[in-house]
């Protein structure tokens, strides 16, 4: 064997030469493609600098604000998004400088956690609609979106409105305040409006997540710009895309009211193509705006600085930050764009269209060639090291000869690589600063490895699909959503918070504030009494503002706490006491957070500080009625007492102007139902109110109770009649 190994080694050495030549040629062809895009971009930029930008004035925010608002819909598909969907909706509503919009969130019936979060937000925001996909998930994103679109059409018919545009977003997107204003300005002239997508800034050591920063900065800063200029068509990015009403109707008419293609995992990719076939216009819309950012300097070792950067209005989000989640997400993109796009569309359109299809699909080969180039380069280094230290015989010629045509190809590839590095540095630095621009250079290697694994997975999944016939489904990527100061500001005044939620308008707030001065009751009570606000929305707002959980209280929980603890502070502070699930302590439930003084007084009495929860005011009133009443035969049941809307005697006295809310609470500070008996007699004995006023209030309360009882008896009679008819 020792006689043959030099010959085997020589054959392997020659094989490496052939592979090197083949790889070098393929890389050069791919580089020429990239250099062509670069040349078009910069020539176009120079031309526009001396023509278009001199003739036309830039669009200003005042022009956006001056255009009348049209109805706009926002659709958000959600599968296993319970961890981020609520924060995304809160951020969206608190950020957008627009009023005339409705958010449609699509959920699957077997994703209860996401349904619960969306329903919680729906009670808070009137402009939110939950759409349920009537079958189990996951299917594909297009399927979810198609059901959302049907809900949008039904909403238009129900309320006799027309949405001028429908925007596609994901549950991890962070929006700019002017986004809807910008779309509103361009609608209905443009049929597909795509704004740039950017990654939110990551730390310099987050190499995988940083790849998205680099790639999207270059793709949406250069590549898509050139694609629009040459082909007149812009592919949707899947987020930050606005479809005109005409476009959505046209897409729906193509396939039995299913505008999105369920045969692909990248339903957004083919939208631009299909609209282009109908002669509709699509653009990548760039509108420079200012962003306030906090940026760590000198790779995180320098001071953090607040700065204003100017860049195109865009959608921002956190992309995956682990190797596995990243290549799985990119595998889904590759499946849809390269494999399913080829199978579904083939090679269509003009020569320019086919060129961009080739550019999209070349990664099916080039990612493997790139990794092979890394392996060859590594072996070249090892050979050189072996020659240098004498392990290998020195009689072999150099592996990479610079003589002849191969030397020219290698030299051109070196120049092209330098240009690629400069491009990546420029676009990343423009968006994220020079530190990230420098780190983007080694991140190019990370990107190539991630893309290699993604394409390998895509090849495997597609071949398996062809062999077994198994359908390719939504490969879920878990997302992060930014939290912290400045994203969702909890406003200090409840009225302002309700206005920002569009639950009430500014004039209603102003009127209620004036009424509050005279009546001296909480502003929420006034808004409820005037019919301007739903009680569920008020409870959600109070819970959000105070960062306390919103719960429901049952009669059994109220009675259990009374029987075990006999809390005598419930009437004094208008709270209910319940027993904590995992301890032998009380928790307090109120319609508004307790004041620090009240909480301190209760804590001193209990010997510990109880947990606080928020409940709807009707549940608090019902619980207090239950504590004060005795369920006698012929009277309302305990459940009826809890669920009825009969006000307490003190509430009626306040409504009738007999006593102020503050005076009533002060008078009840020493009241205990078991010791002091009826509240009315207690107030009269303390000379707080006159006996006639109490008797009048009692008659009013009794009348309301009779009305409730009659309604319940009527419902019972109707139920008996229905049972007789059924039998």
* Sequence ranges of the chain with CATH classification 3.30.300.160: 548-639
What's residue 486's pLDDT? 35
Confidence class for position 708, pLDDT limits 50, 70, 90: low
SS3 272: helix
Report the candidate in 111, 157, 104, 153 with the shortest Cα–Cα distance to residue 134.
Answer: 111
What's residue 242's pLDDT? 95
What's residue 642's pLDDT? 47
pLDDT in tens, 534-554: 888 888 888 877 777 788 888
Confidence class for position 214, pLDDT limits 50, 70, 90: very high
List, in sequence order, every residue forming a beta bridge with 168; answer none if it has no partner: 75, 241
pLDDT in tens, 594-652: 888 888 888 888 888 888 889 888 888 888 878 776 433 344 444 444 444 556 666 67
Q: Would you say residue 672 has pLDDT above 70?
A: no
- Among the residue ranges 84-93, 366-375, 545-554, the one predicted with the least confidence is 545-554
Q: How far apart are CA 176 and CA 64, in angstroms?
A: 13
Superfamily of domain 548-639: Type II secretion system, protein E, N-terminal domain (3.30.300.160)
Between 484 and 663, where is the model more confident?
663
Confidence class for position 296, pLDDT limits 50, 70, 90: confident
Mean pLDDT over all residues of the chain? 81
Confidence class for position 277, pLDDT limits 50, 70, 90: confident
What's residue 505's pLDDT? 83
Report the candidate in 213, 202, 463, 240 with the shortest Cα–Cα distance to residue 331.
Answer: 463
Query: Stretch 558-576: mean pLDDT, rounded?
Result: 80
Q: Would you say residue 1 has pLDDT above 60?
A: no
Q: How far apart are CA 519 and CA 522, in angstroms?
A: 9
List CB contacts of 519: < 8 A, sequence separation 6 or more: 526, 661
Q: How far apart are CA 368 and CA 453, in angstroms?
A: 9
Q: Would you say residue 448 has pLDDT above 80?
A: yes
Phi, psi angle pair for 580, to nearest 5°? -60, 145
What's residue 450's pLDDT? 94
- Among the residue ranges 25-39, 50-64, 690-704, the one predicted with the least confidence is 690-704
- Among the residue ranges 12-21, 149-158, 458-467, 520-529, the one predicted with the least confidence is 520-529
């Amino acid at each position: 064997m020792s006689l043959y190994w030099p010959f085997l080694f020589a054959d392997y050495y020659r094989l490496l030469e052939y592979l090197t030549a083949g790889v070098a040629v393929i890389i050069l062809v791919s580089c020429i493609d990239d250099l062509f895009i670069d040349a078009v971009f910069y020539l176009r930029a120079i031309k526009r600098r001396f023509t278009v930008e001199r003739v036309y004035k830039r669009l200003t925010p005042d022009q956006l604000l001056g255009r009348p608002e049209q109805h706009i819909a926002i659709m958000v598909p959600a599968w296993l998004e319970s961890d981020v969907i609520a924060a995304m909706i809160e951020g969206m509503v608190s950020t957008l400088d627009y009023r005339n919009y409705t958010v449609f969130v699509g959920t699957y019936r077997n994703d209860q956690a996401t349904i619960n979060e969306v329903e919680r937000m729906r009670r808070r925001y009137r402009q939110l609609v939950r759409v349920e996909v009537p079958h189990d998930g996951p299917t594909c994103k297009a399927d979810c979106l198609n059901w959302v679109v049907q809900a949008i059409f039904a909403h238009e018919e129900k309320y006799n409105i027309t949405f001028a545009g429908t925007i596609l977003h994901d549950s991890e997107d962070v929006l700019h305040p002017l986004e809807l204003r910008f779309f509103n300005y361009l609608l209905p002239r443009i049929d597909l409006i795509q704004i740039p997508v950017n990654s939110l800034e990551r730390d310099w050591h987050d190499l995988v997540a940083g790849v998205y920063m680099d790639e999207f900065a270059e793709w949406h800063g250069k590549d898509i710009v050139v694609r629009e200029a040459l082909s007149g068509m812009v592919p949707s990015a899947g987020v930050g895309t606005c479809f005109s009403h005409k476009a959505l109707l046209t897409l729906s008419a193509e396939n039995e009211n299913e505008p999105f293609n369920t045969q692909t995992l990248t339903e957004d990719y083919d939208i631009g193509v299909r609209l282009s076939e109908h002669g509709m216009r699509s653009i990548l819309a760039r509108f420079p705006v200012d962003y306030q950012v906090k940026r760590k300097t000198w790779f995180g070792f320098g001071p953090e600085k607040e700065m204003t950067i100017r860049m195109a209005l865009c959608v921002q989000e956190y992309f995956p930050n682990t190797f596995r989640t990243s290549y799985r997400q990119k595998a889904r993109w590759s499946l849809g764009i390269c494999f399913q796009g080829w199978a579904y569309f083939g090679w269509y359109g003009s020569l320019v269209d086919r060129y961009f299809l080739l550019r999209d699909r070349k990664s099916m080969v080039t990612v493997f060639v790139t990794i092979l180039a890394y392996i060859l380069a590594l072996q070249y280094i090892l050979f050189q090291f072996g020659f240098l230290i004498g392990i290998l015989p020195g009689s072999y010629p150099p592996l990479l000869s610079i003589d002849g045509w191969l030397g020219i190809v290698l030299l051109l590839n070196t120049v092209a690589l330098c240009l690629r590095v400069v491009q990546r540095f420029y676009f990343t630095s423009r968006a994220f600063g020079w530190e990230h621009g420098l780190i983007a250079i080694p991140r190019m290697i990370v990107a190539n490895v991630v893309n290699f694994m993604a394409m390998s997975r895509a090849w495997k999944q597609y071949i398996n699909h062809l062999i077994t016939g198994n359908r390719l489904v939504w490969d879920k990527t878990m997302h992060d959503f930014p939290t912290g100061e400045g994203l969702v500001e909890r406003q200090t005044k409840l009225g302002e918070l309700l206005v920002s939620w569009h639950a009430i308008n500014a004039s209603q707030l102003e009127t209620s504030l004036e009424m509050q001065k005279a009546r001296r009751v909480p502003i929420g009570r006034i808004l409820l009494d005037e019919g301007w606000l739903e009680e569920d929305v008020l409870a959600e707002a109070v819970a959000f503002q105070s960062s306390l959980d919103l719960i429901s209280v049952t009669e059994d929980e109220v009675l259990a706490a009374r029987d075990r603890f006999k809390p005598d502070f419930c009437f004094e502070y208008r709270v209910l006491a319940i027993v904590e699930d995992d301890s032998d302590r009380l928790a307090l439930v109120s319609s508004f957070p307790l004041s620090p003084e009240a909480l301190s007084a209760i804590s001193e009495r209990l010997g510990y500080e109880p947990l606080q929860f928020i409940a709807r005011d009707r549940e608090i009133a019902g619980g207090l009625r239950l504590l004060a009443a005795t369920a006698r035969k012929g009277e309302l049941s305990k459940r009826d007492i809890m669920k009825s809307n009969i006000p307490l005697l003190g509430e009626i006295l306040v409504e009738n102007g007999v006593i102020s809310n503050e005076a009533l609470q002060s008078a009840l500070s020493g009241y205990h139902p078991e010791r002091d008996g009826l509240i009315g007699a207690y107030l009269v004995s303390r000379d707080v109110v006159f006996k006639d006023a109490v008797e009048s209030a009692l008659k009013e309360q009794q009348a309301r109770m009779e009305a409730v009882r009659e309604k319940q008896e009527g419902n019972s009679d109707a139920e008996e009649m229905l049972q007789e008819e059924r039998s």
